[in-house]
Chains A and B, each alone.
Chain A
Amino acid sequence: MGLSIMEGNEAIARAAIHAGCRFFAGYPITPATTIYQNMLRFLPPLGGICLQGEDEIASIGFCLGAAMSGQKAMTATSGPGISLYSENISFAIGSEIPLVIVNVQRLGPSTGSATRGADGDVQFMQWGNSGGMPVIVLAPVDVRDCYELTVWAFNLAERYRCPVFLAANKEIAMTRESIDLAKVKLPDLESRRYCDENKPFAPFEIEQGRKAPDFLPIGGSRLVRQTSSTHGEDGYITVDTETIARTQARLLEKLTSTVDDFTFFEADLQKNAKTLILAYGVTSRAAKHAVKVLRQRGQAVSLLILKTLWPVPQRLLKEQLACVDRVVVVEMNLGQYVREIERLCENTQVVFIGQMNGELISPQQIMEVV
């Protein structure tokens, strides 16, 4: 057994290569830059492409073109870049383009603090694009999660043909950490399903029982149409209200009905515990520490670390929330995901701990409230 040391951003880049990513484009921005720099080290020697766009809009645009040409593509930025990605994110959602988007969150609003961490984009990643359709957001806790969840992000992007966010944080992405690479648990790799060569191809046709259309690449031997406009199965603009309604319902349902299949979490539950601490991202580490100390002091307390933030894993949350009198939601912002918890609680009291000053929430702060 041996240990390696790397920051979260390097783990994300290495995992992307493992997942089969051969196209990356990004624009330098602290604290996401080292993902781009690692991809630039890894990709070109493998025959892959790593580009630096003239801005974030170009970077995600390159990725969308490459993704529709058959590549597994990834881009990485921070809050200000996600703002510029917005219109292209809704394009990827509505036109079912697989893409992994890493958001290494930093303290906002706006330019904010480039070298300070926060989890301030948690609602923004879900709702910061036009149309109001669901997206997948995975939140790593440590370097090992950066590795594992990045591979999952590619799998889910391929499976459901959608953008998948990795909601990292400066405090994970730029913190170096030891990792036992032999213990990393990686899933089998998935790829978007290609249309059978004996079947006629329509770019947005859905086979019975399938969640996403079969794929063919732009540049292949059969013609492919992609469009950001409201489209029918043939990829041409449509005004047919039934077709439009059917597609919109499917875009919603393909992720909300399947979230149980990709609900990642860690539950450390204690019998008789009346209080559940709920955390995600780097804050989970302080929560874990707090739980350990509280138990040493004889206090019963449960912990739920959520790693799939969107779509909200309602089944898991309702189950866990029903078992306790009180849930303490801890997050590195002034109250974002707690809204989702509040709406799922029937008789459970919701207590919120938040902080947005560029510092980590400490175990002491959590223990004081619990």
Chain B
Amino acid sequence: MTNLLNKKRPPAFCAGCAHDRVILALDQAFGDQGLAGEDIAMVSDIGCSGLFDTFFNTHAFHGLHGRALTYGTGIKMAQPELNVVVTMGDGGLGIGGAHVLSTCRRNIDVTLLVLNNFNYGMTGGQCSVTTPMDAQVSSGFLNRLEPPMDICMVAAAAGAPYVARCSAYQKDLALQIQKALTYKGFSLIDIWGVCPGRYTKRNPLTPGQIKERMGELPAADGLVTQNQRMEYGSHYRKVASGLEQAPDAVCVERSFDPVFEDRREVLLLGSAGQRIVTAGEILCLAGMTGGMHATQKNDYPITVLRGHSVSEVVFDKEGVGYTGLDNPCVVIALAPEGVNRRKSKFAEFDKDTVIIRAAGIELPDCRARVITVDFKAHKIKKTDWALAALAVLARENIVITIDMLEKALTCRFKGDVLAAALKLVHTNFKILQKRQN
């Protein structure tokens, strides 16, 4: 049997500490499985349990308080063949509670040994999440206010497929650890022991009493039947192997001469559901077919199905510098929500600005030239107004042409969606000739 104990660094716990027994049992479990040091990563938390990694000749990772399971998860996902063992006290259990619950639910093939001695030993014996209410600890009366947590019940409820409660003093501890180690999935052992340095001075506790108190709790002896399922890493790799690679970024070739040489800005004002953001992107693509650089800034509330939707598009042949709007040459106004969102800007629009307005949308006073389009009269669905407005814009030849717009649609859409978009744009280019000022 191999022995992985680090002879240069023998355990240095207080005389009578239960941790010594767990170290010996863990080493025996490693040996019984025939594991070599390089097959194992010991990941330790903070406190006395945080010393565990130093007593073994294995890979070792000692990190922050409560976070050991997160490092162990990263290691296991990167090195699936490795046996990852995490040691943590009842302190780490409390501070790292979210990670404990998530690891149970995730079911990654890591073994967690909770070295449960009912208090924070290293900092002077304060209460932890497992301290009994009647214990005398250095947290004054505080532990009398909060009942101890049964980690086995919590872990099983959170989805852990393997949960066992052991005493550091039981004869078959090594076997119990070995069973947890060989389980393919997340396994947790809640190992009860004494802390002679801080806890048992004021709270006498014998191995017999530990056994007795454990007996008063619901049994936790390994497999949790209802939580049996595929291990996370294996499942992840299985699903991932069937995924298709993401496509490269679409490249738009310059196909047309631009209709302008300077910087141009377009402001699209609409409401949620009007596909304003998509129209902004298509507008960018259309300009790019003329070799123009473009930026698109969007503004919408976090409640994406309600409220304003605003898109700001800037073109510049040399590349867009400032991405804010200074003086838009075109404003597309399709909903009061969007108009209200930028209402203070209207006074700044000059007579060279063109506003393409959906019929019925009220605009603040401004000097801009207004083109009103009655989308409803043309039986255009509200979700298509933004795209139809781009066709109107193309007709004006200020920023893009109809050829650019059609080319942009072929870059963005495929199949039926493309055919419908092209039809919409083409029809509207022809019929939306009626101009009202």
Contact = CB atoms under 8 A, between A and B. Distances in A.
Given A285-B322, A363-B322, A235 B60 contact: yes
Contact of B38 (A63, A174, A177, A222): A222
Nearest to B79: A219
Contacts, number: 225
Interface stretch (A46-54, A118-126, A192-200, A247-255): A46-54
B59 A224 contact: yes
Contacts of B243: 44-45
The B interface is mostly helix, strand or loop, or mixed, namely mixed
Contacts of A60: 70
A4 B251 contact: yes
Interface string B205-231: 000000000000000000000000000
B61 interface: yes
Contacts of A63: 74
Contacts of B43: 65
A185 to B, nearest CB: 15
Nearest to B71: A65
B61 A218 contact: yes
A11 to B, nearest CB: 9
Nearest to A62: B74
A44 B241 CA distance: 7
Contact of A178 (B9, B54, B284, B322): B284
B62 A229 contact: yes
Contact of B298 (A68, A174, A228): A174
B251 A2 contact: yes
Nearest to A44: B240
Q: Most chain-A Cβ atoms within 10 A of its Cβ — which of B53, B77, B245?
A: B77
Interface in A54-98: 54-55, 57-58, 60-71, 73, 87-88, 91
Interface residues of B, number: 67
A148 B209 CA distance: 64
Contacts of A226: 60-63
Interface string B61-87: 111100100111111111101100000
B365 to A, nearest CB: 23
The A interface is mostly helix, strand or loop, or mixed, namely mixed
Contacts of A1: 253-254
B245 A45 contact: yes
Contacts of B15: none
A100 interface: no
Contacts of A30: 302
B50 to A, nearest CB: 8
Contacts of B34: none
B252 A3 contact: yes
A227 interface: yes
A127 interface: no
Given A217-B79, A223-B57, A228-B62, 5 more contacts: A44-B240, A218-B61, A218-B79, A226-B63, A360-B322
